[in-house]
A = this chain, B = another copy of it.
Amino acid sequence: MQIISEYLNKLEQIVGSKNIFTDEETRRNYGHDETEDYNFPPQVVVKPATVEEVSSIMKLANKHQIPVTPIGARTGLSGGALSIHRGIGLSMERFNKILTIDEQNLQVLVEPGVITQVLREAVAEKGLFYPVDPSSMGSCWIGGNIAENSGGARAVKYGVTKDYVLNLEVVLPNGEIIWTGANTLKNSTGYNLTQLMVGSEGTLGVITKIVLKLIPKVSHNVLMLVPFYKSEQACEAVSAIFRAGIVPSALEFMERDAIDWTMKYVDGVSVPIKETIEAHLLIEVDGNYPEVLFQEAEKVAEVLEKFEIDEVLFADSEEQKNALWKLRRAVGEAVKSNSVYKEEDTVVPRYELPTLLKGVKEAGKKYGFHTICYGHAGDGNLHINIVKGNMTDENWKTEVPKGIVEIFELTVKLKGTLSGEHGIGYVQKDYMSIAFTQMELDLMKGIKKVFDPNHIMNPGKILNM
C-alpha cells in the first residue's frame, strides 16, 4: 500500500502543512510504543486538532482504503499503536485539553491526549477523585487508557477505566461523528456502545471526547510492605484479606527479583530485605476516617499473622509512601531494562493466583526460561516478564512461545484470560483462540465489520482477519 502524493496533498489541506510529517525520523518515532523492540512506522504522521479534521481524515482514508492507526502516548504494552499495515499514523497529541470539570455532577469532559496524572491532579484540585492509576500514569494518556481498558493499582477497590467512562465522542471509520451514550450513571437505552468502544484498542473508531465519572476525594490512607518467606503464601494471603471483609485500595505483589532489580534501577529507594524473603505484598487501605483505617490495618495484620512473614514495614510519612509507590511503579521498566523480554498480562480469579504462579514457574523450568512476576494481586492480575538473559536466540524463538501457550491454557482453565489491562493488540492476537471459541471470535469479527467494513481502522490488531 502506497500513499500517493494526491492523498498527502489532501491530508495537508485538512490539518495544515505544519501537522503532517513524512520524514523518517518522525515516522520511526511514531512507529513504536513500549512493546518489546518493535517499530512499525506509518507512511505519514498526521496531527489533527479537531473532531472535524479527524472526520475528514477518516473519510479520505475510507474512500481510498488507507490504513489508519490512532497513536497516543506510545506507552502501550501490546503494540496497539503500531502501524503494522503502514498507512496514516493519527497522533492525537493536539487533543490535549481538559474541557470541563463539572463539580455539580462529578464528571469531567476531556480530550484523549491528556496525561492521566495531569487529569487526576486537575480534578483533585476541585476535591474530586479519578481513581484509575496505571503504573505509567505520569506519561500515558486517558485516550489510550480507554482504548486498552487500563487498570492499575487502585482497581482492586475502585475498578478499571471502563467503570468510569460514561460517554464517548467517536469518529467512525467512515468519518461520521457519534456519541456512544449519555452523561448518566445509569443507562438502559439500547446496546452499550460505550463499553464496546472501551478496550477496543482503536479498531472501531477514533475517540475524540470523553466523559468520565468522578467520585469525592478520599483523604487518608495507610500503606504497608509485607515480606513473605514463600511466594505462594503471599498469593494465598491476598484472598484471605478479602475473606476477612477488607477491600484494600491496593494489593500489589512483587517477587524478590522484581524488587531487587528495581532498587538497582531507581535512585534513592531502598528497602532492607533478608536473603530468605521470596516475595512482598504492598497493601494500602484508604478512607476518610483515620481511626477506621487503623482498625482495618490491624485486621489486615491479623490475617497476615497466619502466614510466614517477616516484619511489616508501615510507611509513616508521605515521603516514605511516595518512595514505596515509586518503587512499585518502576518495577516494569526496571525488569525490562535488564534484558530482552516478553511480558504477559494474565488475569485469573484471585484465589487461583498461587496455582497460576506455580504453573508459570513450571513452564519456565520445562522450556528453559526465567520469569519475574509482579502485579495487581488483588485483581488476580499477574504480570509475567519472561527475560531472555543468556537464552539462545533459537530457544527464545521456539521454546518461549510453547511456554506462553501453556501459561495461557492454564490461565483459561482457571477461568481467567489472556489480558487483564494491557490489551491484545499486535503481540497477543495469535493466542486469542486459547481464550475464545471460533464462534466467539466470529462475533467479534462481525462487530468489527459493522463498524469498519473496509478494514482500515487499526488493522492487524486483536483479531486475525
Give the B-binding residues of A (Cβ under 8 A): 102-107, 127, 148-151, 155-156, 159-160, 162-163, 167, 172, 176, 178-193, 195-196, 198-200, 204, 215-217, 239, 242-243, 245-247, 288-289, 291-292, 295, 345, 347-352, 376, 379-381, 412, 415-424, 432, 435-437, 439-441, 443-444, 446-451, 462-463
Q: Which 10 A-B pairs have the closest CB atoms?
A: A446-B450, A195-B195, A182-B417, A104-B351, A183-B415, A186-B420, A105-B349, A216-B245, A188-B419, A149-B188
**How far apart are A343's CB and chain B's nearest CB, in angstroms?**
13
Contact A160 B186 (CB under 8 A): yes
B436 touches A443 (CB 8 A): no
Q: How far is the CA of A183 from the CA of B348 in the complex (A)?
A: 7
Bound: A160/B424 CA distance, A:
28
Contact between chains at A345 and B188 (CB < 8 Å): yes
Q: Chain B nearest CB: distance from A148 CB in Å?
A: 6
Q: A149-B187, A188-B148 are in contact. Are A216 and B246 (CB under 8 A)?
A: yes
Instruction: Determine the chain B residues whose CB is within 8 A of the CB of A176 once the complex forms.
Output: 439
Q: Provided the pairs A193-B444, A195-B195 are in contact, do residues A182 and B450 lie with their beta carbons within 8 angstroms?
A: no
Q: Is the CB of B242 within 8 A of A216?
A: yes
A121 to B245, CA, bound (A): 17
Q: 20 more A-B contacts (CB under 8 A) besides A104-B243, A160-B186?
A: A105-B351, A149-B188, A172-B439, A182-B412, A183-B415, A183-B416, A184-B347, A184-B380, A187-B419, A188-B419, A189-B417, A189-B435, A190-B436, A190-B444, A193-B443, A193-B444, A289-B289, A289-B295, A291-B291, A443-B451
* Cα distance, A104 to B204, chains bound together (Å): 37
Known contacts: A191-B200, A292-B292. The answer to whether A178 contacts B102 by CB under 8 A is no
Q: How far is the CA of A288 from the CA of B178 in the complex (A)?
A: 43
Q: Report chain B residues within 8 Å CB of A424.
A: 188-190
Q: Check B435 against A182 for contact (C-beta < 8 Å).
A: yes
Q: Would you call B104 and A185 a contact (CB within 8 A)?
A: no
- Alpha-carbon gap, A336 to B195, bound state (A): 34
- Give, as a whole number of angstroms, the nearest-CB distance from A443 to chain B: 6
Quick one: given A106-B242, A243-B103, A417-B187, are A192 and B182 in contact (CB under 8 Å)? Answer: no
Known: A193-B443, A198-B192, A216-B246. A349 touches B102 (CB 8 A): yes
Shortest C-beta distance, A386 to chain B (Å), equals 19
Q: Which residue of chain B lies nearest to A422 when distances are taken between CB atoms in the complex?
A: B188
Q: Is the CB of B196 within 8 A of A347?
A: no
A217: B residues at CB distance < 8 A: 245
A464 vs chain B, min Cβ distance (A): 12
Contact B349 A184 (CB under 8 A): yes
Nearest B residue (CB) for A216: B245
Known: A417-B184, A447-B450. A437 touches B195 (CB 8 A): no
- Complex Cα–Cα for A160 and B419 (A): 25
A-B contact pairs, 12 of them (CB 8 A): A104-B239, A106-B242, A149-B192, A151-B186, A162-B192, A184-B416, A185-B347, A186-B420, A187-B347, A191-B199, A216-B242, A450-B450
Complex interface: chain B residues within 8 A of A195 (CB): 162, 192, 195-196
Chain B residues lying within 8 Å of A151, measured Cβ to Cβ, are 186, 188
Q: How far is the CB of A81 from chain B (nearest CB, A)?
A: 15
Contacts of A463 in B (CB 8 A): 190
Say yes or no: A184-B415 contact (C-beta < 8 A), given A239-B104, A349-B102.
yes
